[in-house]
Amino acid sequence: MQEEKKPARRETLLMLLLLIAGVVAIFSGTKTTGRNDHIALVQRICKKTLYPSTCHSTLSFPISTIVTTKRTVLDLALTTVNTAIKSIIHARLKIKRLRSLPRSPATKDCLLMLDQSLHILRASRTNLRSVFRVRNRRTRNLRQVRSLLAAAMTHRDSCLSGLDDENVFNSSRSGIKNKIVFSKFLNPMKETLSNALAITNKLLKSSERVIAHRRVSELGLGNPGPDEFVVVCSNGTGDYKTISEAVEAAPSSISHRFVIQISPGVYSENIFIPFQKNNLMFVGSGMNLTVIEGNRNMKDGYTTFNSATLAISGAGFLARDLTVVNTAGPAKGQAVALRVSADQAAFYRCNISGYQDTLYAHSSSQFYRDCIISGTVDFIFGNAAAVFQNCLIIVLHPLQGQRDMITAHSRDDPFQPTGFSLQNCSITAPIYNHFSSNTSKYEVYLGRPWRRYSRTMVMGSYLGEEVSPKGWHDWSENAPLDSVELMEYNNRGPGSKISERVAWARYNATREEAVEFAIGNLIDGWWLNATTYPFYFGL
């Protein structure tokens, strides 16, 4: 009987082997199909980037085999961000090991900006990983990732721009050598970040897009209330005598608000808020009562980046009812009063005063409401996504031979979601100019493009007679203008006449184009709900 069962066993074994072979063949075919799909997707994605060769080399291996298309695009974005993180770590390590590298203010700025870029990219990676885990916040998270990637790219560009400034104002060859060294290590970072932005835009287009036309409460929608509160008073009656001491004492990486109440007085100090100090709030006693002043400037050896009286890198920063001023004067060149590199930073009833380069809206999402901003040359500049709502823009008398340029936006990549929006603002000269017969006339322009993809919208605003009929000015004679977006929509006042505007500017923007520069789109303004500042989303 046992002998008769052997053929049956052989048949069973044979069938089992055939079944295993079939399964292996199926999975092998699926794996091959998965790889082919991945290669096809990489080719399709990389074709739409500015640097397809770098894109292909970054994504040349399959992340996974059997995944949905959306998930695969997300994996590609994560891989690209991880590559950018590795490139920054590599660049920092190499640069710090170069003992022959001349140490200068500009190189110190560069190393600081690399640290901030690394922090920003790690936050981008965290947000990307949560995109498909938290479905109801998918679009919001992707917009946040896009903003962070743009900020990291801006830090890289600002590093190299600072080294260029060093070449101009430093008679030695150290600036040239530094620029060569930093460019060598940072160029791959630029290409990888640009590709990451392009892939994130691809994800955003496939996600639900919300354009907010609605108006919200003039007082915002939330009031979380402070969890910690300290007082600064220069006479010693508060918790601290200087603002810098209060900032240093503030906790790091917090989820609540740390409020620093600043008593009336003039505080002569240069304040830096690092990225570790998030969710800080300065509350002054009044725009003209609490004054923070400094006088650092380019002529005295400071970089533009490091000349700021108040420099902010900590996310979620808020300020209200105070003045920030750089007192260096027009003859000292670039002299920043306020530099903001912080994401989701907002200012209410603040006076930001200087001459050249007054407000460095450096990077990330920013909001200014009911503020006064004064200056001469490029006095609102940088590559932030910034909305100025109901602000007073005062153009001061420039040096002989200078022209007043209100804005100078520096977007250098078409995938960066950045731009300036001046909404319902008033642009005028100081009131004494209108009554003094001795005040000579000077040219005032709404702005000029600092980089080839510069974006600025002036809409619903009053333009005084000081504004040139041409409206806008080029950066230099041979600067490309075909890719800039300098636009106007529904303005009023004697300076708003468009009959003599330069041909390359968009002086007759459409409502649809204007909506793209409203709070709901340009800075994804949901985060303003917690500030208690007045604002409106639409036009």
Give the residue numbers annotated as catalytic, written as ranges: 378
Q: Which parts of 170-242 fold into alpha helices (H)?
A: 174-206
Residue pair 241/234 in contact (Cβ under 8 Å)? The answer is yes
Q: How far is CA 455 from CA 75, 268, 437, in A?
A: 30, 35, 37
Residue pair 193/171 in contact (Cβ under 8 Å)? The answer is no
CA–CA separation, 433 vs 481, rounded Å?
A: 33
For residue 151, what are the contacts with CB-CB under 8 A and spacing of at least 6?
A: 117, 120, 341, 343, 363, 364
Residue pair 192/58 in contact (Cβ under 8 Å)? The answer is yes
Please give the backbone phi and psi of residue 234, each rounded to the nearest 5 degrees, phi first: -65, -20
CA–CA separation, 346 vs 342, rounded Å?
A: 10
Helix (H, G, I), strand (E, B) or coil at 78: helix
Residue 21 structure tokens: 């072979």
Residue 428 structure tokens: 């005028």
CB-based burial label for 331 (10 Å; 0-12, 13-18, 19+): exposed
CA–CA separation, 160 vs 153, rounded Å?
A: 11
CA–CA separation, 40 vs 352, rounded Å?
A: 52
Q: How many CB atoms lie within 10 A of CB 7?
A: 9
Residue 6 structure tokens: 């052997």
Residue 163 structure tokens: 């080294």
**Can you state the percent helix, strand and coil of the chain, rounding each to 5?**
40, 20, 40
Q: How do beta strands 271-273 and 310-312 pair?
A: parallel
Q: How do beta strands 228-232 and 271-273 pair?
A: unpaired
- Start-to-end CA distance of the chain, whole Å, equals 92
Amino acid in position 425: C
CA–CA separation, 349 vs 495, rounded Å?
A: 25
CA–CA separation, 289 vs 259, rounded Å?
A: 18
Residue pair 92/167 in contact (Cβ under 8 Å)? The answer is no
Residue pair 290/322 in contact (Cβ under 8 Å)? The answer is yes
Return the exposure string of 110-124: e unless at least 16 CB atoms fall within 10 Å of the residue's CB, then b: bbbbbbbbbbbbebb
For residue 450, what are the contacts with CB-CB under 8 A and spacing of at least 6?
A: 378, 381, 408, 409, 410, 475
